Amino acid sequence: MTSRLTAIVPALDAETTVGPVARALLDVGVFAEVVVVDDGSTDATGPAARAAGATVLRHGRNRGKGAALRTGMIHAYARGARAAVSVDADGQHPAHEAARIARSAAPPDALVLGVRDLRAAGAPRANQWSNAFSDAWVSLFAGRPLADSQCGLRRYPLPATLGLGATGDGFEYESEVVLLAALGAVAIVEEPVAVWYPPPERRRTHFRVARDPARIVERLVSTFLEARLGRRTGAPR
């Protein structure tokens, strides 16, 4: 992968972790820019990211992970990036793994999905269940098995991804992109990645293991039907 690369970190109330995450991403020497999208945080997420050397974009109110990813992608594309690697703000994705995904030998126009071993990584059982549930539905609608449709560590080909026209604002955005890529002409490549889960007393997540999978399935159904009925144009942004 030789074109300009950007790391995008959607962040909500992550002041204790976002600084080290941004700094580590800058230190691996792969990314031309690290963009932290402060999604309406009520703490010092933005200042912490800026102090670490990241470019900070801010939503005045919390709009959701999907909206934050789109904001980061549009910014990166306007700045000349043709691919972006998304990294969660909580520190679960080591910077060297993000660099490895960035350097993937997959075609430049492929969507590269990180695949975690959640059990080996010690992910909470509720997370393992909700991921398996979502994976089953994404795989069903995509017409192909997908090992991990929910991993936040990905390499997005920006022209192709923005051209898909995915509109979800929350966690469902990531599944929507995968489905539209599978239904369209965007190649999907899966690569194993290491992930780190903090001990229970230090874990913080905005993902709700009952509500958010339900929203993912709802979005998958509507996206699939719209695509089959030809109501999605996938107009580039």
For residue 226, the SS3 value is helix
For residue 34, the SS3 value is strand
Q: What is the pLDDT of residue 234?
A: 46
Is 124 within a domain? yes
Residue 165 or residue 3, greater confidence = 165
| CATH number, domain containing residue 31 | 3.90.550.10
Q: What is the pLDDT of residue 1?
A: 45
Structural domain span for residue 171: 5-228
pLDDT at 233 over 90: no
Q: What Cα–Cα distance (Å) separates residue 204 from each residue in 13, 75, 229?
A: 10, 27, 40
State which amino acid sits at residue 221.
V
Residue 157 contacts by C-beta under 8 Å, 6 or more apart in sequence? 82, 83, 108, 109, 110, 111, 186
Q: What is the pLDDT of residues 56-77, one digit of tens each?
A: 999 999 999 999 999 999 999 9
Q: Please report the sign of the dihedral spanned by the C-alpha atoms of residue 171, residue 214, residue 184, residue 128.
A: positive
Q: What Cα–Cα distance (Å) separates residue 105 from each residue in 77, 102, 190?
A: 21, 9, 11
Across 127-200, the runs of DSSP E, i.e. the strands, are 154-157, 188-192
Q: Count of CB atoms within 10 A of residue 44's CB? A: 17
Q: What is the pLDDT of residues 4-23, one digit of tens each?
A: 899 999 999 999 999 999 99
* Spatial separation of the C-alpha atoms in residues 80 and 6, rounded to whole Å: 9
Q: What is the pLDDT of residues 185-231, one digit of tens each?
A: 899 999 999 998 866 555 566 555 556 677 888 888 888 888 877 75
pLDDT at 232 over 70: no
Is 233 within a domain? no
Is 234 within a domain? no
Quote the percentage of the chain above a pLDDT of 90.
71
Number of compact structural domains in the chain: 1
Give the bridge partners for 35, in sequence order: 8, 55
